[in-house]
């Protein structure tokens, strides 16, 4: 079903879940698999060529993120990176302390890891994120104690797009040499400026498929001085932190994807900000629309509710118009429960159940957003009747 006559392409506004693969990235992935498929751990020259590509990819990633004292551990994605960073550090530094700090609105791969560690005997402080950034930083500082070894914070929340004060938090953590600082930057890398040295980030997780890269590819960027307990053991690849034959093509494609979004980052940001401002203005003019996104906001994500329509119902109704959005995070969108993140931000359970997420990319067009708004108005009117 289409809004107007003629052919209308799919309107994809779920880029926070995954993005289409850039053709240059895909070509790089295919080329490496066709021509440089040797094992980079092999001693022969053919393997050495693959290893050289791996080294070049690492250098490019570190340069793009200004991580001068770091190394890259290529992983299967951000979930593995988050687990390796958090579990690996806590296991490696358990003799230094058993207290760790995070926020109440982390991605499931961080939140559940902290919950598991709490069940294993570590003491966890989940920081309340309601209020201003200054209040948030003060709560973190108040939670720090002699036993604290790790602070982990998401940069851009995956459901609301709320931006958290990673720079300020990094300056705070830098005062405590014993404490390490981990950032889940999945929704910020390639969209907002990320400077690991300037932000004092020790560990950073990212995923390729959020930046028009290949699924199943990601990285943990780690300060070279930090020790981690490996979570996958075997042949001691990736500096001994992640065993298994290294996905060289995935690493090359990740570096390519990162460069293609960071080089035009400012231009892309301004383009998406216009789409964000237009969408918010249109939503504000609609009756019974509640916008949940925070004032400190990434323009790539908008979270809102069309009261009293359940989020899942709205998502499926928009599908009839070839418009694709999501309810909650893709990792939990099939669970018919209120978003824990929205509840932690003080949103009522009713609104949390009715909320949906629209997420843009630099490929999103003004026409697509206009068609989305038209479809939304029709669907909301129909569902209310």
Residue numbers annotated as active site: 331
Q: Can you read off the two tokens belonging to residue 315?
A: 């998502």
361, 21 in Cβ contact below 8 A?
no
Helical H runs in 65-102?
A: 78-92
Residues forming a β-bridge with 358: 302
192, 204 in Cβ contact below 8 A?
no
207, 221 in Cβ contact below 8 A?
no
358, 375 in Cβ contact below 8 A?
no
3-state secondary structure of 260: helix
Q: Can you read off the two tokens belonging to residue 67?
A: 């991580």
How many C-alpha atoms does 208 have within 13 Å on its Cβ side? 27
CA distance 156 to 269: 14
CA distance 94 to 157: 28
3-state secondary structure of 20: coil
CA distance 71 to 68: 9
CB contact burial 336-348 (16+ within 10 A = b; e otherwise): eebbbbbbbbebe
Cα-Cα-Cα-Cα dihedral of 174, 176, 186, 313, to 10°? -130
DSSP-derived letter for residue 283 is H
Helical H runs in the chain?
A: 23-35, 45-64, 78-92, 108-119, 133-143, 166-173, 196-199, 248-262, 265-284, 311-319, 340-344, 349-354, 366-384
């Amino acid at each position: 079903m289409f809004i107007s006559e003629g052919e209308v392409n799919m309107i994809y506004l779920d880029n926070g879940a995954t993005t289409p693969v850039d053709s240059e990235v895909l070509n790089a992935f295919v080329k490496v698999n066709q021509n440089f498929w040797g094992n980079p751990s092999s001693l022969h020259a053919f393997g050495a060529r693959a290893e050289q590509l791996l080294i070049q990819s690492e250098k490019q990633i570190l340069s793009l993120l200004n991580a001068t004292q770091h190394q890259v551990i290529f992983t299967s994605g951000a979930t593995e990176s988050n687990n390796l960073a958090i579990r690996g550090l806590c296991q490696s530094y358990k003799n230094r302390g058993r207290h760790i700090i995070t926020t109440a609105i982390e991605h499931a791969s961080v939140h559940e890891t902290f919950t598991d560690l709490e069940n294993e005997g570590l003491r966890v402080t989940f920081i309340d994120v309601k209020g201003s950034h200054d209040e948030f930083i003060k709560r973190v500082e108040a939670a720090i104690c002699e036993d604290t070894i790790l602070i982990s914070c998401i940069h851009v929340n995956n459901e609301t797009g709320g931006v958290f004060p990673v720079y300020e938090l990094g300056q705070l953590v830098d005062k405590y040499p014993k404490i390490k600082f981990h950032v889940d930057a999945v929704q910020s890398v390639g969209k907002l400026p990320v400077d690991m040295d300037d932000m004092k980030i020790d560990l950073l997780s990212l995923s390729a498929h959020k930046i028009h890269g290949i699924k199943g590819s990601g990285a943990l960027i780690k300060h070279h001085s930090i020790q981690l307990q490996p979570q996958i053991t075997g042949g001691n690849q990736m500096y001994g932190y992640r065993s298994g034959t290294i996905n060289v093509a995935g690493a090359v494609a990740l570096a390519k994807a990162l460069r293609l979004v960071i080089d035009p980052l400012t231009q892309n940001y301004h383009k998406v900000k216009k789409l964000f401002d237009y969408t918010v203005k249109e939503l504000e003019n609609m009756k019974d629309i509640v916008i949940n996104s925070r004032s400190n906001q990434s323009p790539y994500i908008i979270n809102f509710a069309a009261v009293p329509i359940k989020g899942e119902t709205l998502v499926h109704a928009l599908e009839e118009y070839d418009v694709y959005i999501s309810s909650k995070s893709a990792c939990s969108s099939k669970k018919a429960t209120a978003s824990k993140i929205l509840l932690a931000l003080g949103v009522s359970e009713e609104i949390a159940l009715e909320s949906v997420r629209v997420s843009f990319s630099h490929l999103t067009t003004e026409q697509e957003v206009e068609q989305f708004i038209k479809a939304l108005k029709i669907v909301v009117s129909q569902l209310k009747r």
